[in-house]
């Protein structure tokens, strides 16, 4: 990509966003960290690198190719004119996080299914039209999406008013002290690691019911029913108890091929005013993790 005029002392990530107006500064930083930008013939991976007017910058980025989001197929559990329920695989993002991202997500898959009125509310390659709630990238399982504006409003209201019942299954390290209990501990953002959360007195009310289904003395299969919907709630609560989810290295879990957290059931009232329970089968690897 050809150079544009630069300013003495300008940050490299600022220059990249000027050179490619369609990307955010956060995405520019990702390009730099990935080794896609060179200064005077050498790869520069520091976003804050200060430029000089004589520098020659080359950006390895094909804007046309990057705009093409690959197609993915997601397993459909249920679908009608108002909504679609999917069995989200682990490793798939619910939606992109405020930056241009050519990665396929639930939101990009959903785009062809939503009604035009809903699609028009959130345009662009990273739109969130139809997304009612989210599962972390590493979490698999049942997830409901809206296809119409009225359906999205109806479903989001249920989540906000805690009229949705969610059941998760996790494999955790060790054996919990009590076979079943309620974890009632407030959760707040961790100021030392802003991308994570922690139990803290200044946090929001967070409640999780759990029940141990089985254990082999080293790992335990646990049923979790969050009564609130805080970000990373289950992961934070289990980490605080000293029994992190296997594979959840962000919160102290032992390394594994995936994070062993699965959204097993979702009970709610559909936009058609029917109370339904949607289920996603537990991956076989969860049982294998316990039985060894």
The pairing of beta strand 57-59 with beta strand 83-88: unpaired
Q: Which residues contact 256 (CB under 8 A, 6 or more apart)?
A: 246, 247, 289
Q: At how many degrees (to 10) do helices 12-19 and 25-33 cross?
A: 110
Is there a catalytic annotation at residue 13? no
Query: In degrees, to the nearest 5, what angle opens at C-alpha 185 toward C-alphas 276 and 226?
Result: 10
List 120, 136, 184, 216, catalytic entry:
136
Q: What share of the chain is helix, strand, coil (3-state, %, to 5)?
A: 20, 30, 50
The pairing of beta strand 261-269 with beta strand 140-146: parallel
> Within 10 Å of residue 224's Cβ, how many Cβ atoms?
24
- Where in the sequence numbering do the catalytic residues fall? 136
């Amino acid at each position: 990509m050809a150079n544009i005029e630069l300013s003495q002392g300008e940050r490299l990530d600022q220059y990249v966003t000027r050179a490619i107006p369609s990307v955010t500064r956060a995405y520019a930083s990702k390009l730099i960290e990935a080794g896609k930008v060179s200064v005077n013939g050498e790869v520069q991976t520091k976003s804050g690198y200060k430029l000089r007017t004589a520098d020659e910058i080359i950006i390895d980025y094909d804007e046309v190719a990057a705009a093409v989001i690959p197609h993915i197929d997601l397993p459909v559990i249920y679908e009608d004119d108002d909504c679609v329920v999917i069995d989200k695989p682990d490793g798939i993002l619910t939606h992109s996080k405020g930056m241009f991202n050519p990665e396929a997500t639930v939101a990009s898959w959903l785009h062809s299914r939503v009604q035009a009125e809903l699609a028009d509310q959130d345009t662009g390659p990273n739109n969130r039209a139809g997304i009612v709630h989210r599962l972390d990238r590493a979490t698999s399982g049942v997830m409901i999406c809206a296809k119409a504006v009225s359906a999205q409003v109806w479903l989001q209201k249920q989540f906000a008013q805690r009229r949705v019942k969610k059941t998760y299954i996790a494999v955790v390290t060790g054996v919990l002290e009590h076979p079943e209990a309620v974890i009632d501990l407030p959760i707040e953002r961790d100021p030392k690691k802003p991308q994570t959360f922690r139990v803290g007195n200044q946090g929001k009310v967070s409640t999780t019911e759990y029940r141990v289904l089985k254990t082999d003395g080293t790992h335990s299969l646990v049923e979790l029913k969050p009564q609130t919907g805080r970000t990373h709630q289950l992961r934070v609560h289990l980490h605080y108890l000293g029994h992190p989810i296997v594979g959840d290295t962000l919160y102290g879990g032992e390394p594994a091929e995936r994070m062993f957290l699965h959204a097993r059931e979702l009970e709610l009232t559909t936009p058609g005013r029917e109370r339904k329970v949607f289920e996603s089968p537990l991956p076989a690897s969860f049982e294998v993790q316990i039985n060894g």
